[in-house]
Amino acid sequence: MGLSGWSIKSKLSYPLLVGLLAGLYPVLFYASNNYGLINSWGHFWFFVLRFLMLPMALAVLGCYGFSWQRIKVLQHYYLPFLGMGLFLFFIKVTLLEAPHRKITLAIVVVSGLYSYFFGQHHKKIMVIQFLMVLMGGVTFSAQVYHSLNLSHQWKVPVDDITTLALKNRPNIYVLQPDGLVNFSELSRGYYQMNGENFRAALTAQGFVHYDDFRTNYASTLSSNSSLLMMKHHYYNNGKSFSEAIDARESIITNNQVLNVLDHNGYTSHFISEAPYLLANHPELGFDTANFSYEAIGYLSQGFNLRAEVNQELSALMDPNNKAPQFYFVQYFNPGHIHSEPASSLGALQEAELWYESMQRGQIKTNDLVETILARDPEALIMIIGDHGGFVGMNYTNEIYQKTQDRDLIYSIFSSQLSVRWPEQIKPDVAIPFTTSVNVFRLLFAHLGQAPEYAQNLAPDTSYVILKDDMHDGVYQYLNDQGLVVCEKHE
């Protein structure tokens, strides 16, 4: 028997199916395209209750409610109106974070007209919805299968560094301006920009700059998960360079850097301009974060809220704290060029926009440094970018197409590293910071006066995901020496 043969005939099954099909495809659509944002139990129950159980309850209760004689004439229109209205509304809320009340009103009007003129055909629409669910289910099942089979071996430490006792325990401030390229790259290649005033201002505050520093990965999630885990993950052999399953957990929940700090009595704080790294509600491994999960909600891409990081940091700093403090401060200037061709203004205009954003980022960085040093003059401050600005490209997703253009590749991976060392723990010999994966291992080896831990370094190689006619997979783009290569990672 077909779909209509067994369920549509039943007075109870029909409204239940109307409610279920109204919400099920939007759930599968959103989950398939945003799995890294919704892989928590909180999200699971949110979607089950709001997108599935609530529509089913409204369908059943509405049928009973409209059975009252005076309004029974409306009963014929109710389920088509509800089924189409909720279906369109759920699609809207999964695509658009803001309320968009005019769109919601339009959905109500369209659903009313649909139920009046075409309501008798709603069973045919339900068949289409059912087929959409089947297709969405296949895509979602593939995401779940990949997630369940994800190897966590890369998170295992190569030695016992997480039990290292640090001899020096300064307050540590990690300032991460998104997409800030290294001074050594800023004046060359596709950038051709002047950063000397910014560099001079930081130098005057006691910063040491590590020229030619770069990241190992091309996005905020992939770069920071490697940075804080102090190991390579090779994008978990995924398909997207920008989004990754389990990346937020590797940054926010549990990683080797937090374990070392916790072992040494640090109190850790996560401060961000927007809750991008908190969007999927990962269990909090930091002691504090400046956004609550209640405020973020369950349909956020991570940019629905904003905070002023200097104010947030200033409110947390307490000179009377006896325990050493660790602050990870993330902000989104200069960022990178637009991601998609539809939003790109072309390479030249994208470069101009990036430069303007970089200038705003410089102001934020200088303000943060002044705030820190005014209240904590013996602070260890690290300014570290998470990736480059992609200047020279038309849009960031051009990254999937192979290039051997040295300047374009460095536009992806070049990132700033400047460190302000407290006077009593300045290195006698320059620490060989080369790529982000080894930054904290080298830092902890120095603070712990344990040079043996600086021997177990990860390769200073940089990786990209390619998807073009000749390439498909994870490829090494820069080798240990920073030379351009294109070698598939197996």
Q: What are the boundaries of each domain within the chain?
A: 3-148, 155-488
What predicted TM-score, i.e. pTM, was given to this entire model?
0.91
pLDDT per residue over 224-242, tens digit each?
Answer: 999 999 999 999 887 776 6
CA nearest to 286, candidates 256, 311, 316, 252: 252
Burial category of 297 from C-beta neighbours within 10 Å (exposed 0-12, middle 13-18, buried 19 and up): middle
pLDDT per residue over 307-332, tens digit each?
Answer: 999 999 999 998 888 899 999 999 99
Provide the pLDDT for residue 265: 97
Burial category of 55 from C-beta neighbours within 10 Å (exposed 0-12, middle 13-18, buried 19 and up): buried
Residue of higher predicted confidence among 2 and 38: 38
| Number of C-beta neighbours around residue 464 at 10 A | 24
Provide the pLDDT for residue 126: 94
pLDDT per residue over 409-456, tens digit each?
Answer: 999 999 999 999 999 999 999 999 999 999 999 999 999 999 999 999
Instruction: Answer yes or no: is pLDDT of 68 > 70.
Output: no
Provide the CATH topology of domain 155-488.
Alkaline Phosphatase, subunit A (3.40.720)
Rounded to a whole number of angstroms, the CA Rg of the chain reads 26
**Mean pLDDT calculated for residue range 332-344:** 94
Beta bridge partners of 472: 467
For residue 468 the two structure tokens come to 């073009």
CA–CA dist 426, 423 (Å, integer): 6
CA nearest to 80, candidates 94, 92, 66: 66
| Number of C-beta neighbours around residue 46 at 10 A | 17
